Amino acid sequence: MLIADLSPETITRIRKLRYDRIVEKHEGPEQWDTEFRYLDSGYIADLKQRYPEYDPEAERPEFLNVDGHWVLLPIGNAHHSNLTILHYFLSAEGHKLVLYLKDTTYDDSIWGAGFVAICDLWLPEEFYLASFYHEWFIIDYDDEAKRLFFDHN
């Protein structure tokens, strides 16, 4: 699934939504419209003029496939190759998807690479859209953290 496959009506509906975000001590709420600005040719042209080496396509969000579930997170698609899904939970009725992620795009430490996303099922297209995206310390999943916090020998 690609954002390009979505109808203009669906994109307009998503752009109006907010999501809760805490990243690098910056607190939301944020708007999906901000994430979708990379679809606007005027915005891209302005960026290219000011920063010729800047790649706005890398910053554009794109769908991620999580075990057969299409998910849209408020991160650029350049992050996808740096993502590890550590764990995920799907609600019993299938309307919520919770992801525990490691994103090593900018940091690979237990203190800066962990994120939690809560995503809601978006109908009728049947993909999950993040309504919550927060930093998370990877204490339970990281060998270094296990040594620091749990190894008392």
pLDDT tens track for 73-94: 999 999 999 999 999 999 999 9
Question: Across residues 57-85, what is the average pLDDT?
Answer: 93
pLDDT band at 152 (very low <50, low <70, confident <90, very high): low
- Tell me what percent of the residues of the chain surpass a pLDDT of 70: 89
pTM of the shown model: 0.85
The Cα 41–Cα 23 span in angstroms is 27
CB 115 within 8 A of CB 86: no
Q: Which helix (H) or strand (E) holds 70?
A: strand 69-72
> pLDDT digit string (tens) for 96-129?
999 999 999 988 877 778 899 999 999 999 999 9
Tell me what pLDDT residue 74 has: 94
Centre a 10 Å sphere on the Cβ of residue 117 and count the other Cβ atoms it contains. 27
The Cα 128–Cα 7 span in angstroms is 16
Tell me what pLDDT residue 57 has: 80
Average pLDDT, the chain: 87
